[in-house]
Chain A
Amino acid sequence: MISWIYRDLVEFVRLLRMAGLPIGVEQTELFAQGLSCVEALSRREIYLVARATLVLSRDHLPVFDERFAAFFGEGDSAGQGQRVPPAPRHDRVPPLRNALTAFMAERARPQAAEVGVPEQTKAASSLEQLQRKDFSECTSEELDAIERALRDVRFDLTLRRSLRFAPSPHGENLDLRRMVRDAARHGGRALTLHRRRRKLTHRPLVVLADISGSMELYSRILLQFLHVISRSHRQTQTFVFGTRLTCITGQLQIRDVDTALSHAARAIVDFAGGTRIGECIGAFNRRYARRVLRKGAVLLFISDGWETGDASTLDLEMRRLRARSHRVVWLNPLMGRTGYEPRARGVEIALTHADDFLPVHNLQSLHELSWHLAHIPRRKGSRPALGTVGR
């Protein structure tokens, strides 16, 4: 190949890599090799070869098209073959708002003097008493203590039977491969019955958390909780929503709490805004549900059910969500309040589509949740496990 073209192409690949596309050396070689298979090197042909060899996923197409046009100049042919809807831009840094800004600022200077907080909590902050205190009534110091305690809570899910096998002395199937090897050593007689059984594997966990204005008082501890749960359970996918849905799975996998949360905060656009639960679940159902709600996934839905959008959309989307999940567990901080009745429009609808309805307003309720997750029934839609707070 002519060397100047080659240099151009390497430069182009470098630009794509800078744009975040995972292109290995192998891909670059394929690209060059592909070009040599094509007779006339028009702009269109280069585009098609580059696309066939360098793009590894549909999600990369919009970026690829954009960079190609920028590098080789606008042409009429780029992207003609297939229409790809422009991907939502995630690279904008959104302005941080109220709750979160305050939260982050507070974290930045933990020694800052408390103003206006009565001294009565001095000795009262022992963990024992904190167990039952509503998060929304806690002082900053108490929240710190709760956060520390929270790190020790384990959130394990019940296991499910996989389709794969492992040797096991009391398994239900015979392991023929091992038996033959054994028999060969004993003149063709099978002396022992080797057995195998299905392996047990973890269920995936999917968390959908409401971070709208009405949940503001809980948002600090909520993010902390999300971090703990995604650190303790490897297959956790986390999404937050208010008026828009954001996936923060990647951010929460960072080990350090503060780094993780500040990364997550930057990704979230609509902290403490309004709530359109139905639409956000709809967005989740269309974009992610098929990929993350599989293999008997358990769905944790955290919201106070305060819906400002259309009630019928919520009903429809909740039903779709339920159909895909092994179990839908609704966590509602308001349930801890004495005299609370599920009156909010959204709550009534969503209640009909949830398997369990649990409070999540103090430390004790989180311990209960941990127990509950470890005892999720094997069969879909069975009665809530013992100890569940009923509706």
Chain B
Amino acid sequence: MPANREALAAALAERGYIVDDALAMSVFLSLRMQRPLFLEGAPGVGKTLLAHVLAELFETRLIRLQCYEGLDISQAAYEWNYPRQLLEIQARGTGGAAATDGLFTEAYLLKRPLLQAIDAAHERPPVLLIDELDRADEEFESFLLELLSEYQITIPELGTLKAHHRPIVVLTSNRTRDVHDALRRRCLYHWIDYPTLENEIAIVGRKVPALAQHLCRRLVAFVQRLRQEDLAKLPGVAETVDWAEALTQLGETDLDRGVVDATLGLLLKSHEDLERIRGALVERLLTESAG
């Protein structure tokens, strides 16, 4: 466990994840105070990646729950193994009232991500990533409340299962809807913004080491300028990295209109945006970002 936020930031940077002061403090406090970390931000700014890096940093398992509409307890937490239960009942033959004895025990439980995260079998606390929470519906949030405040899950037939090691919990949201305050209150909240020019250069430099330094600066400056345009979908850091990777593969040494036009699809993922930016506007953005 890093002693302070600077040490934590350095440890994360070592693994290729560059954070600013505010994010470093949020992560540090969430680890220290054992509180879930709730990250909001535009797509592609590295919310999910943070969980992966944390798992790597603490050399522990990453348990991921991808949220979607209609996600319910049987897919998120646990489900009874019905076929096995049925077989067991039949094997016992006609037994009367005692037929259900021993059927609702851990042996017949299928553990889904949330239950796995608080499973007592772990040697050290795992990282639990609850990804894109805004995609799940409101009912699911209420279910999470017990887990996030007490680190326990109650199963009616079995009782309450409590975590031996509190997992490191990271929740992410793209903010397609508002997540309820009750859930926010149980977490440390942080809004991840697009990185500053210097930070983004550092990130790209780390991810694509083969990239020449001046080209790196130039392309990041271009992307940062692009984000000021009125676009349906702004390019995230993930897109910048992809683009840098593509330019290296192509063996480009400098940015000009032709190169940008040909590869713009890596940055802009909507037809409308492409049509608008491609051509004359690229030229202008290039000169503006160079200056």
Asked if B4 and A38 make an inter-chain contact with CB atoms under 8 angstroms apart, the answer reads yes
Verify if B248 is at the interface (C-beta below 8 Å from A).
Answer: no
Contacts of B85 in A (CB 8 A): 180, 184
Asked if A184 and B4 make an inter-chain contact with CB atoms under 8 angstroms apart, the answer reads no
- When chains A and B are docked, how far (Å) is the Cα of A38 from the Cα of B26? 12
Verify if A61 is at the interface (C-beta below 8 Å from B).
Answer: yes
CB contacts under 8 Å to B, within A4-40, are 22, 24, 26-27, 30, 33-34, 37-39
Asked if A164 and B189 make an inter-chain contact with CB atoms under 8 angstroms apart, the answer reads no
Contacts of A187 in B (CB 8 A): 89-90, 93-95, 99
- Give, as a whole number of angstroms, the nearest-CB distance from A170 to chain B: 21
Verify if A53 is at the interface (C-beta below 8 Å from B).
Answer: yes
Verify if A95 is at the interface (C-beta below 8 Å from B).
Answer: no
Contacts A290-B176, A294-B176 hold; do A177 and B21 have CB atoms under 8 A apart?
A: no
Verify if A73 is at the interface (C-beta below 8 Å from B).
Answer: no
Verify if A192 is at the interface (C-beta below 8 Å from B).
Answer: no
Verify if A320 is at the interface (C-beta below 8 Å from B).
Answer: yes
Verify if A130 is at the interface (C-beta below 8 Å from B).
Answer: no
Interface residue total, chain B, C-beta cutoff 8 A: 49
Verify if A80 is at the interface (C-beta below 8 Å from B).
Answer: yes
Asked if A180 and B181 make an inter-chain contact with CB atoms under 8 angstroms apart, the answer reads no
Contacts of B176 in A (CB 8 A): 290-291, 294
Query: Which one of B26, B89, B190, B191 contacts A188 once the chains associate, using CB atoms below 8 Å?
Result: B89
Contacts of A190 in B (CB 8 A): 86
Verify if B208 is at the interface (C-beta below 8 Å from A).
Answer: no
Which residue of chain B lies nearest to A77 when distances are taken between CB atoms in the complex?
A: B21
Asked if B93 and A48 make an inter-chain contact with CB atoms under 8 angstroms apart, the answer reads no
Contacts of B74 in A (CB 8 A): 177
Q: Which has the most chain B C-beta neighbours within 10 Å: A44, A162, A180, A286?
A: A180
Asked if A162 and B70 make an inter-chain contact with CB atoms under 8 angstroms apart, the answer reads yes
Contacts of B188 in A (CB 8 A): 30, 52-53
Asked if A52 and B29 make an inter-chain contact with CB atoms under 8 angstroms apart, the answer reads yes
Verify if A57 is at the interface (C-beta below 8 Å from B).
Answer: yes
- When chains A and B are docked, how far (Å) is the Cα of A120 from the Cα of B95? 87
Verify if B229 is at the interface (C-beta below 8 Å from A).
Answer: no
Query: Which one of B26, B28, B185 contacts A24 once the chains associate, using CB atoms below 8 Å?
Result: B185
Asked if B22 and A81 make an inter-chain contact with CB atoms under 8 angstroms apart, the answer reads yes
- Give, as a whole number of angstroms, the nearest-CB distance from B11 to chain A: 16
Asked if B72 and A56 make an inter-chain contact with CB atoms under 8 angstroms apart, the answer reads no
Asked if A51 and B25 make an inter-chain contact with CB atoms under 8 angstroms apart, the answer reads yes
Verify if B82 is at the interface (C-beta below 8 Å from A).
Answer: yes
Contacts of B90 in A (CB 8 A): 187-189
Contacts A58-B40, A188-B86 hold; do A48 and B5 have CB atoms under 8 A apart?
A: yes
- When chains A and B are docked, how far (Å) is the Cα of A163 from the Cα of B26? 35
Asked if A180 and B33 make an inter-chain contact with CB atoms under 8 angstroms apart, the answer reads no
Asked if B26 and A52 make an inter-chain contact with CB atoms under 8 angstroms apart, the answer reads yes
- Complex interface bits, B72-109 against A, C-beta within 8 A gives 1, otherwise 0: 10100000101001100110111100011001000000
Shortest Cβ-Cβ A-B pairs, 3 listed = A163-B70, A188-B89, A81-B22
A-B contact pairs, 9 of them (CB 8 A): A37-B28, A52-B190, A53-B29, A55-B189, A82-B191, A162-B69, A177-B80, A180-B80, A183-B86
B residues bordering A, Cβ < 8 Å?
Answer: 4-5, 20-23, 25-26, 28-30, 32-33, 35, 40, 69-70, 72, 74, 80, 82, 85-86, 89-90, 92-95, 99-100, 103, 137, 139, 175-178, 181, 184-185, 188-191, 193, 230, 232, 272
